[in-house]
């Protein structure tokens, strides 16, 4: 009996780690860090139930759908998982989303009675760009912080980027997150490729660097607004200002040390969660 | 009146306030409950702890309470009270012009009452605009483009019916068009609070001022691009300003962007009462200074002169308030009330 329980516990923990890889598309932060995941359980048939909630009853239906779908995919990638049932609660279109995701419907089909529908690819792409730009700004500011001139940053190649030791724990955590998107978009793959290019893959010219950075700053300000507001609203809604979320995380959780934003929600302490913690570098 | 630590008087017009009824008795359905719950979450998460209200007071407060918070305990000299109907969620509407006007009538010279219209009403919207002008003499309206109505979950400023309403507003001298373009409250697959429709409408209606409440956040960059090219676009600080408490550095970045792109002549203070009360907001704002690195980076500063404009002078210009004359009218009023 005990052995079975331990086994189930390990499976639950594996699910949490996969969920930590799912990000809120708008904030580019992990759904586990944000405290969106309320409950995870694995039944005896290796079916996984996930209950999640969002900061407000009105949170965008498309983001909710993307997250539910992301959770389903992430957890299904575990070899032993037979079925995944993400369930959103306390949301104006919870029912439509839960049914749609469980039946594998597209967003447009799932919510066709409620909204004008359409594909989420455009939204997904928009947020991938924002994530890229925000992660990029974090790293450029970090490079400036350790003394790199803008010109050198424009010319820097991936091999050099990989070798830089930033000293700061938080920056070290951010470093692979930017790299991950560079590789995913095939913007930089080989050591000789430029590490800092636009989302379209164009080099950033030295004389345009200041205005480029201004734009990146705008992206960050918007995302931070959302992130900060969402964390606050979630905490207010579910009365978890003191880390009720952390108690449900599988490993001992530490206060959020990374984002320097004074956010009340704690981040998880498991290796997977920590790795994915996308903090708002102020 | 706000008195600075050095004894200077600053005239304050609160550009965005509400006199709502979100109480359970007025809620029509779950949406009405969730709407006020969401407001309460804003209130809870962005207010200093000692400024928090109990839930039932937040749902419905009295006219006396509002007067007290804004003008007696608070530093406001005048307040623009906005109307938001939400009749799909609330039996008698959330915050109607009739209720606002009734409240304002009790307090002479304090309130500027704004109306609201829904272009989806077609002809009736035009009639309603006439009614509001004739009955209440409105100079402005609040538009809530994400409001539900039957099958519709929102509308755009560029809809043909909206243009007919704007034409009428321009003709009748209802020149201040406050538009909620802020954090998502009633979102859909495509966000009804996206700011892009402001661009077209502002270009086409040069006789109107478009005051974008919440500065389009979290689409501040979109808003800035629009505001910088349209001379008749303004930014309202509600929701952005309370960050001054919990995350001052973040607020500094937002206000720096606004000062750089939009300029100090086109930013308006708004407490968003009763989500927040104005005293602490105004005090913190007056005492706030931009960090040196942001001043350098943006080439802007939040000077006392800029603060005065933002706190009242800009709104006075839009609403035709003669500040000196108004000061004389209001002199002694608070004391008189307090003594009653």
Domain borders along chain A are 2-121+261-281, 133-220
What is the span of the domain harbouring residue B193? 2-332
Residue A117 pLDDT:
53
- Residue B91: count of CB within 10 angstroms of its CB: 13
Question: Reading across the β-sheet that carries B176-180, which strands appear in turn?
Answer: B140-143, B176-180, B209-213, B233-236, B267-268
CA geometry: angle B268, B274, B277, nearest 5 deg = 65
Residue A2 pLDDT:
64
Which residues, in sequence order, are CB contacts of B62 under 8 Å at separation 6+? none
Cβ of A57 and B34 within 8 Å? yes
User: What is the band of A58 on the pLDDT scale with cuts at 50, 70, 90?
Assistant: confident
Mean pLDDT in residue range B41-64: 95
Which residues, in sequence order, are CB contacts of A3 under 8 Å at separation 6+? none
Nearest of B50, B89, B97 to residue B279 by alpha carbon: B50
* Residue B337 lies inside a defined structural domain of this protein: no
Nearest residue in A to B189, CA atom: A62
> Could you tell me if B38 lies within 8 Å of chain A, comparing CB atoms?
yes
pLDDT value at A278 more than 80: no
Residue A3 pLDDT:
67
**pTM for this entry:** 0.87
Residue B162 pLDDT:
98
* CA A68 distance to own-chain centroid: 13
How many folded domains does chain B comprise? 1
Nearest residue in A to B258, CA atom: A218
User: What is the band of B222 on the pLDDT scale with cuts at 50, 70, 90?
Assistant: confident
CA R_g for chain B: 19
Q: Is the ipTM of this complex over 0.90?
A: no
Residues of A in contact with B250 (CB under 8 A): 221, 224-225, 228, 261, 282
Residue B330 pLDDT:
92
* Residue B340 lies inside a defined structural domain of this protein: no
* Residue B339 lies inside a defined structural domain of this protein: no
Spatial distance between the Cα atoms of B189 and B195, rounded to a whole number of angstroms: 15
Chain A residues in contact with chain B using a Cβ-Cβ cutoff of 8 Å: 55-62, 92, 107-108, 111, 114-118, 215, 217-219, 221-226, 228-229, 232-233, 235-237, 261-262, 282
The CATH number assigned to the domain holding B95 equals 3.20.20.140
Spatial distance between the Cα atoms of A279 and A170, rounded to a whole number of angstroms: 8
User: What is the band of B192 on the pLDDT scale with cuts at 50, 70, 90?
Assistant: low
CATH code matching the domain that covers A2-121+261-281, chosen among 3.30.300.130, 1.10.10.10, 3.90.930.12, 3.30.230.10: 3.30.300.130
* Residue B211 lies inside a defined structural domain of this protein: yes
Cβ of A235 and B45 within 8 Å? yes
* Residue B152 lies inside a defined structural domain of this protein: yes
pLDDT value at A271 more than 70: no
């Amino acid at each position: 009996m005990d052995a079975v329980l331990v086994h189930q516990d390990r499976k639950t923990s594996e699910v949490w780690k996969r969920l930590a890889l799912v990000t809120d598309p708008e904030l580019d932060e992990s759904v586990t860090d944000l405290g969106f995941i309320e409950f995870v359980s694995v039944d005896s048939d290796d079916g996984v139930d996930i209950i999640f909630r969002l900061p407000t009853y009105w949170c965008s239906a498309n983001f909710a759908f993307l997250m539910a779908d992301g959770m389903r995919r992430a957890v299904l990638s575990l070899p032993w998982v037979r079925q995944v049932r993400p369930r959103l609660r306390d949301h104006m279109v919870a029912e439509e989303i839960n049914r749609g995701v469980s039946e594998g419907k597209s967003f447009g089909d799932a919510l066709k009675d409620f909204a004008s529908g359409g594909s989420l690819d455009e939204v997904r792409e928009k947020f991938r760009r924002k994530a890229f730009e925000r992660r990029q700004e974090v790293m450029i500011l970090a490079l400036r912080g350790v003394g790199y001139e803008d010109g050198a940053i424009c010319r820097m190649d991936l091999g050099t980027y990989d070798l830089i030791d930033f000293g700061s724990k938080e920056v070290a955590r951010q470093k692979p997150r930017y790299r991950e998107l560079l590789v995913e978009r095939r913007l930089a793959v080989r050591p000789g490729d430029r590490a800092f290019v636009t989302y379209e893959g164009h080099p950033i010219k030295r004389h345009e660097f200041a205005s480029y950075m201004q734009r990146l700053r705008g992206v960050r300000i918007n995302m931070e607004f959302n992130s900060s507001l969402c964390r606050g609203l979630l905490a207010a809604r579910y009365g978890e200002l003191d880390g009720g979320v952390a108690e449900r995380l599988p490993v001992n959780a530490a206060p959020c040390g990374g984002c320097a934003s004074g956010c009340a929600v704690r981040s998880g302490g498991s290796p997977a969660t920590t790795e994915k913690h996308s903090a708002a570098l102020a | 009146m706000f008195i600075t630590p050095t004894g200077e008087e600053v005239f304050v017009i609160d550009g965005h306030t509400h006199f709502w009824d979100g109480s359970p008795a007025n809620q029509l359905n779950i949406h009405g409950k969730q709407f006020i719950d969401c407001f309460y979450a804003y209130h809870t998460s962005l207010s200093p702890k000692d400024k928090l209200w109990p839930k039932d007071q937040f749902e419905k407060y009295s006219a006396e309470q509002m007067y007290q918070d804004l003008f007696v305990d608070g530093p406001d000299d005048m307040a623009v009270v906005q109307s938001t109907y939400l009749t799909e969620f609330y039996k008698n509407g959330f915050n109607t012009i009739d209720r606002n006007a009734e409240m304002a009538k009790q307090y002479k010279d304090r309130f500027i009452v704004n109306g609201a219209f829904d272009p989806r009403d077609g002809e009736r919207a035009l009639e309603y605009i006439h009614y509001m002008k004739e009955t209440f003499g409105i100079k402005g309206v609040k538009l809530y483009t994400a409001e539900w109505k039957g099958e519709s979950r929102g509308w755009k400023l560029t809809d043909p019916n909206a243009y007919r309403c704007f034409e009428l507003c321009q003709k009748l001298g209802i020149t201040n068009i406050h538009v909620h373009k802020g954090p998502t409250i009633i979102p859909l697959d495509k966000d009804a609070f996206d700011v892009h429709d402001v661009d077209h409408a502002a270009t086409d209606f040069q006789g109107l001022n478009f005051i974008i409440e919440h500065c389009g956040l979290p689409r501040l960059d979109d808003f800035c691009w629009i505001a910088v090219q349209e001379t008749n676009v303004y930014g309202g600080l509600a929701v952005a300003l309370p960050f001054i408490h919990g995350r001052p550095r973040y607020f500094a970045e937002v206000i720096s962007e606004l000062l750089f792109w939009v300029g100090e002549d086109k930013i308006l203070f708004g407490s968003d009462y009763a989500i927040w009360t104005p005293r602490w907001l105004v005090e913190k704002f007056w005492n706030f200074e931009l960090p040196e690195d942001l001043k350098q980076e943006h080439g802007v500063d939040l000077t006392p002169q800029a603060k005065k404009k933002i706190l009242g002078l800009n709104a006075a210009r839009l609403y035709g308030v003669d500040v000196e004359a108004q000061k004389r009218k209001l002199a002694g009023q608070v004391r008189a009330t307090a003594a009653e």
